[in-house]
Amino acid sequence: MKALVVEDEHKIANSIKQGLEQENFVVDVAYDGVEGMDFALTEEYDVIILDRMLPEIDGITIVKKLRAGKDHTPVLMLTAKGQVEDRVEGLNSGADDYLTKPFAFSELLARIRALTRRPQKTATSQLKVDELVLDTGTFEVKRGKKAIRLSNKEFLLLEFLMRHPRKIVKKDNIIKNVWDYEADVLPNSVEVYIKHLRDKIDKGQEKKLIHTVRGFGYMIGEMKNV
């Protein structure tokens, strides 16, 4: 999954990023409201962790802008303000949840997990394409009865493909969603990881699940009219 953290306190922002990356998230970070607004409006995320008080543009304004544009990405708002009226204002602006600083990372993660399980994203932690099953909660992958061990990046790539079953996914879109914004991605990085997945998922199998659509991108699942 991909998350955006918008927080002007660098120590907090970087701690959240590090913690989420250990939980197999791809994380972009913005340290002010202008950059946060730009990321939120131009990139796709599974969840946004948004500080209420930000330089330039505050969190309330950002979430209102998102909702006005029919963007329903789950938003968890962070704040040092704990008064009821402040929480109400945040929720009324369109935020989905509210967490007061200081907080434990375990609580932050639990709230993020709850938000990303809601129906607008997915009703289950399992993604399935034919006999291939990926569980975003336990990080387990199986093809039939065979368990498949993946690296963190392989898991993220497979998860992204499986969220778009039987659809052609362009390389640029993969890079945007599987690598964070500041990552130094080599030109053949996607091809290398696709090969790793094929070796682990399709090798020895009569039916191939991962396909290259030359000139377009990649697809997982049975090929139809391609």
CATH of residue 76's domain is 3.40.50.2300
Residue 19's pLDDT is: 95
The kind and range of the H/E element at 217 are strand 217-220
Residue 89's pLDDT is: 76
Give the range of the structural domain holding residue 153, as residue numbers without chain letter.
126-220
The domain boundary, picked from 92, 116, 140, lies at 116
Residue 226's pLDDT is: 46
Query: Both 7 and 64 in a single domain?
Result: yes
Other Cβ atoms less than 10 A from the Cβ of 29: the count is 21
Query: Both 103 and 148 in a single domain?
Result: no
Query: Both 109 and 134 in a single domain?
Result: no
Residue 224's pLDDT is: 58
CA distances from 188 to 75, 177, 191, 203 (A): 34, 16, 5, 21
Query: Both 70 and 136 in a single domain?
Result: no
Flag whether 164 is in a domain: yes
Query: Both 100 and 169 in a single domain?
Result: no
Query: Both 145 and 174 in a single domain?
Result: yes
Query: Both 108 and 139 in a single domain?
Result: no
Residue 122's pLDDT is: 42
Residue 226's DSSP bridge partners are none
pTM, full prediction = 0.64
Flag whether 225 is in a domain: no
What residues in the chain have per-residue pLDDT under 50? 120-123, 226
Query: Both 111 and 146 in a single domain?
Result: no
Q: What is the CATH number of the domain that holds 137?
A: 1.10.10.10
The kind and range of the H/E element at 155 are helix 152-162
